[in-house]
Structure 1
Amino acid sequence: MGLLAFLKTQFVVHLLIGFVFVVSGLVINFVQLCTLILWPLNKQLYRRLNCRLAYSLWSQLVMLLEWWSCTACTLFTDQATVARFGKEHAVIILNHNFEIDFLCGWTMCERFGVLGSSKVLAKRELLYVPLIGWTWYFLETRVPGPAQFLLYCEGTRFTEKKHRVSMEVAASKGLPALKYHLLPRTKGFTTAVQCLRGTVAAVYDVTLNFRGNKNPSLLGILYGKKYEADMCVRRFPLEEIPLDEKEAAQWLHKLYQEKDALQEMYNQKGVFPGEQFKPARRPWTLLNFLSWATVLLSPLFSFVLGVFASGSPLLILTFLGFVGAASFGVRRLIGVTEIEKGSSYGNQEFKKKE
Structure 2
Amino acid sequence: MGLVEWLKSQVVCSLLIGYVFLGSGLLVNLLQLCTLPVWWFNKQLARTINCRLAYCISSQGVALLDWWSGTKCTLYTDPKMFPLYGAENAIVVLNHNFEIDFVCGWSFCERFGVLGSSKVLVKKELAYVPVIGLMWYFLEIVFCKRKWEEDRIKVRQSLQNLRDYPENFWFLLFCEGTRFTPEKHRISMEVADKKGLPHLKHHLLPRTKGFWVTVQNLRGSVAAVYDATLNFRNNETPTLLGLLRGKKYHADLYVRRIPLESIPEGEAECAAWLHKLYQEKDGFQEQYIQTGRYPGPIVNIQRRPGPLLIWLCWWALVLYPLGVVLVSMLNSGSTVTILASVAICSAASYLFFRWMIGKTEISKSSGYGIKGEKNS
Q: Distance in 2 between matches of 1:226 and 1:317?
A: 34
Aligned equivalent of 1:273? 295
- Mapped contact 1:117–1:143 kept (Cα < 8 A): no
Contact kept in structure 1, 2:227 and 2:256, CA below 8 Å: yes
Question: Does 1:192 find its partner at 2:214?
Answer: yes
Instruction: State whether structure 2 residue 331 is matched by structure 1 residue 331.
Output: no
Residue by residue over 1:210-253, the C-alpha shift from the partner in whole angstroms, topping out at 9 and shown as x without a partner, is: 01011101111111111111111111100100010100000000
Q: Mapping of 1:59-98 within 5 angstroms? A: 59-98=59-98
Distance 1:74 1:326 in 2: 32
Moved more, 131-140 or 284-293: 131-140
1:227 aligns with 2:260: no
For 1:180-219, list aligned pairs within 5 A: 180-219=202-241
Take 1:318 and 1:143, find their aligned partners in 2: how far apart are those partners? 47
- For the Cα contact (< 8 Å) 2:22–2:349, is it kept in 1? no
Q: Which has the higher mean CA deviation after the structures are superposed, 248-257 or 310-319?
A: 310-319
State the SS of the aligned residue for 1:158.
coil
Distance (whole Å) between structure 1 residues aligned to residue 105 and residue 172 of structure 2: 8
- Pick closer, same or farther for the CA change 1:109–1:353 going to 2, 3 Å: closer
Following superposition, the deviation at residue 314 of structure 1 comes to: 4.2
1:300 maps to amino acid: L
Residue 348 of structure 1 aligns with which residue? 371
Question: Deviation string for 1:17-59 (max 9, x for gaps)?
Answer: 1111001101111111110100111112101100000000000
Of residues 61-70 and 310-319 in structure 1, the stretch that sits farther from structure 2 once superposed is 310-319
Cα distance in 2 for partners of 1:7, 1:41 equals 49
Measure, in 2, the Cα distance between the counterparts of 1:2 and 1:269.
Answer: 32
Aligned-partner residue type, residue 339 of structure 1? I
Which residue of the partner structure matches residue 159 of structure 2?
Answer: none
Alignment match, 1:123: 123
Q: What are the equivalent positions in structure 2 for 1:272-351 lying under 5 Å apart?
A: 272-312=294-334, 314-322=336-344, 323-350=346-373
State the number of aligned residues: 353
1:157, 1:131 → 2: CA distance?
Answer: 23
% identical equivalent positions: 58
Measure the CA separation in 2 of the matches of 1:316 and 1:104.
39
Q: CA deviation at 1:273?
A: 0.3
**2:189 aligned with 1:167, yes or no?**
yes
What aligned pairs does 1:232-247 form with structure 2 within 5 A after superposition? 232-247=254-269
Question: What is the Cα-based RMSD across aligned positions, in Å?
Answer: 1.4
Q: CA deviation at 1:307?
A: 2.9
- Structure 1 window deviating more from structure 2 (156-165 vs 340-349): it is 340-349
Letter in 2 for 1:340: S
Q: CA deviation at 1:3?
A: 4.0
| Structure 2 counterpart SS, 1:194 | helix
Q: Matches of 1:333 and 1:221 in 2, distance apart?
A: 13
How far did 1:313 drift?
5.0
Structure 1: distance between partners of 2:357 and 2:64: 13
- The C-alpha deviation readout for 1:253-303, integer Å capped at 9, x for no partner, is 000000001111111000000000120111100000111111111111121
Q: Return closer, same or farther for 1:353/1:49 CA change in 2, 3 Å cut-off.
A: closer
Map 1:9-88 to 2 at 5 A: 9-88=9-88
3-state SS, counterpart of residue 206 of structure 1: strand
CA offsets per residue over residues 78-112 of structure 1, 9 Å max, x none?
11221211110000000000001111111011011
1:133 Cα deviation (Å)? 2.1
Structure 1: unaligned runs, 5 residues or longer:
none
For residues 99 and 133 of structure 2, what CA distance do their matches in structure 1 show?
17
Residue 139 and residue 271 in structure 1: after superposition, are their counterparts in 2 closer, same or farther (change >3 A)? same
Could you tell me which amino acid in structure 2 is paired with residue 122 of structure 1? Answer: V
Q: CA deviation at 1:310?
A: 3.2
CA–CA separation in structure 1 for the residues paired with 2:340 and 2:361? 31
Distance 1:87 1:294 in 2: 33
Q: Distance in 2 between matches of 1:325 and 1:24?
A: 14
Letter in 1 for 2:119: K
Per-residue deviation at 1:145?
A: 2.5
Partner-residue secondary structure (3-state), 1:183: coil
Q: CA deviation at 1:319?
A: 1.7
In the alignment, structure 2 segments of 5+ residues that lack a partner are: 141-161
Aligned partner of 2:368: which letter? Answer: Y
Label 1:334 to 1:307 Cα distance change in 2 as closer, same or farther (>3 A): farther
Q: Distance in 2 between matches of 1:349 and 1:127?
A: 24
Q: What code does the residue aligned with 1:77 have? A: T
* 3-state SS of paired residue (2:80): helix
